């Protein structure tokens, strides 16, 4: 069965610190997609990244970087030099490739609440 685990429920850091949010997933499928979303207090989901199972290259986007390791089924997210505006709940999610090519739903982890203090 597919599952996403975000073991860190809450993290608190001081501005300018680096912080890594962990994500471990389980799936039997060889083709799948992994996502990270940010959910600020207003509630909307902000898409951050999508990575397919065949692309293990790490990605960097400004202060954000992602480390995808299939060997450990992990897709960790690092924020460098954190800012107060980074305070939010971050969700890791998994989508499997369903039979016939139809898109499955997203399976979310429980989320990690990040608080960045000035």
Partner 1 sequence: GAVVSQHPSRVICKSGTSVKIECRSLDFQATTMFWYRQFPKQSLMLMATSNEGSKATYEQGVEKDKFLINHASLTLSTLTVTSAHPEDSSFYICSAKAQGVPYGYTFGSGTRLTVV
Binding segment for partner 1 (CB under 8 A), chosen from 21-29, 44-52, 56-64, 66-74, is 44-52
Within the chain, residue ranges assigned H as helices are none
Residue 33 binds to partner 1 (criterion: CB under 8 A)? yes
As a whole number of angstroms, the distance between CA 86 and CA 53 comes to: 27
Q: Are 35 and 95 in contact (CB under 8 A)?
A: yes
Q: Are 83 and 115 in contact (CB under 8 A)?
A: no
Shortest gap between Cβ of 97 and partner 1 (angstroms)?
8
Ramachandran angles phi, psi of 5, nearest 5°: -120, 125
Nearer to partner 1, 5 or 67 (CB): 5
Nearer to partner 1, 64 or 108 (CB): 108
Tell which one of 28, 41, 44, 61 touches partner 1 (CB under 8 A). 44
The two structure tokens encoding residue 8 = 């860190």
Residue 90 binds to partner 1 (criterion: CB under 8 A)? no
Tell which one of 1, 28, 41, 47 touches partner 1 (CB under 8 A). 47
As a whole number of angstroms, the distance between CA 42 and CA 19 comes to: 22
Binding segment for partner 1 (CB under 8 A), chosen from 14-22, 54-62, 74-82, 103-111, is 103-111
Would you say the C-alpha torsion 52, 67, 50, 111 has a positive or negative sign?
Answer: positive
Which residues are near partner 1 by CB under 8 A? 33, 35, 42-45, 47, 50, 52, 91, 95, 103, 105-111
């Amino acid at each position: 069965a597919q599952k996403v685990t975000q073991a860190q429920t809450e993290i608190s850091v001081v501005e300018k610190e680096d912080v890594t949010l962990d994500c471990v997933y389980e799936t039997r499928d060889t083709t799948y997609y992994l996502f990270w979303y940010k959910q600020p207090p207003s509630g909307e989901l902000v898409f951050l990244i999508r990575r397919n199972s065949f692309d293990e290259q790490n990605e960097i986007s400004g202060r954000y970087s992602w480390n995808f390791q299939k060997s450990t089924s992990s897709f960790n997210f690092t924020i460098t030099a954190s800012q107060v505006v980074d305070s939010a709940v971050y969700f890791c999610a998994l989508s499997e490739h369903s039979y016939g090519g139809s898109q499955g739903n997203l399976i979310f982890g429980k989320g990690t609440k990040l608080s960045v203090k000035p």
